[in-house]
Amino acid sequence: MFMHNKRLQYTVRVAEPNPALASLLLEQFGGPDGELAAAMRYFTQGLAEDDPGRKDMLLDIATEELSHLEVIGSIVAMLNKGAKSNLSEASMAEADLYLSLNAGGNSHTQSLLYGGGPSLTNSSGVPWTAAYIDSRGDPTCDLRSNIAAESRAKIVYERLINISDDPGIKDALGFLMTREIAHQKSFEKALYSIKDNFPPGKLPGLAPYANLYVNTSQGEGDASGPWNDGEQWERLEDVEGNIALDGGDGQASISLGDQQMEDYAAMSGRLKSDPTLNPVTGADLGAGPGAGKLSDEDLGGAADMADAKAQAQAKSLL
């Protein structure tokens, strides 16, 4: 059961309205790394958690994330306060009102559609979706995802702090950013309190592949480090010469029944392409200068982009 305390977890002090900034702050209201996504991620994990310690932690943090949603939503509402009243009372000249609503981002959508209230969208106006919740029901997997989510949220808060010169907003965003650090520490402790937490799951890795580093991007820029070299790694440089890694022919195969095999042969024969044909296509029939080589002629092209622009301009003057 939830009960709402009318006091915010952190005091919101906004110096003046700024619809464009409000639009950007929505990233942490309804975005993939925002407070609602965090609350729902940890809340659903906590409901399914069997370990009493992790369950308590997840529900605590999930509930606090809802309070952070209230803080960021209150900042957005305050930043939109002037635009909301101006639009409601039509107190500005049409041109000035239009300019104020189109100050940046999707601030006009916030004003017209949501009346200045915080909408469950990201900063580009994309609606919040439960697809942001990436839980898998295994704590060693989910806690790592939570750690990453808190890290991403901290970075977004840093960027939002950098684009505001309002001291009160910077102060509140600094609080929210710092709570991401605290939550990450809690999740790290919870993860490493699980013995043998890596690799995730129950099944062990397969020995021939667990220590293999495949250098598939070769050439200038190749680099070595503890992530791909040293005692714990077996580097595979000759990738083409060692495919398939299992020693097989690297082809996909399946065993079909007699009727399936007959149907497959009939279908393949019916849909087989004829490499001896060179049919006239729609591109041939409708081609003009610049189409390049066709079935029966060469219509050329431009030498470079400057030539292409010159040819296009000349064509438009005809």
Residue 304 assigned as binding residue? no
The answer to whether 130 touches 40, Cβ cutoff 8 Å, is yes
Would the annotation count 228 as a binding residue? no
Q: Which of 161, 21, 51, 56 is nearest to 64 (CA)?
A: 56
Sequence-distant (6+) residues with CB within 8 A of 22 are 75, 76, 79, 80, 107, 110, 116, 118
Task: Yes or no: say if 311 and 290 are a contact pair by the CB < 8 Å rule.
Answer: yes
Q: Is 168 annotated as a binding residue?
A: no
Does the annotation flag 56 for ligand binding?
yes
Asked if 290 contacts 300 with a C-beta cutoff of 8 angstroms, the reply is yes
Chain-centre distance of CA 292, in angstroms? 39
263 is in an annotated binding site: no
Q: Annotated binding residue at 68? A: yes
- Annotated ligand binding at 51? The verdict is no
- Asked if residue 80 belongs to a known ligand binding site, the reply is no
158 is in an annotated binding site: no
Cα–chain center distance at 284: 42
Q: Is 217 annotated as a binding residue?
A: yes
Annotated binding-site members for Mn(2+):
35, 65, 68, 150, 183
Binding-site residues sit at: 35, 56, 60, 65, 68, 150, 183, 215, 217, 219
Binding-site residue ranges for Ca(2+): 56, 60, 215, 217, 219
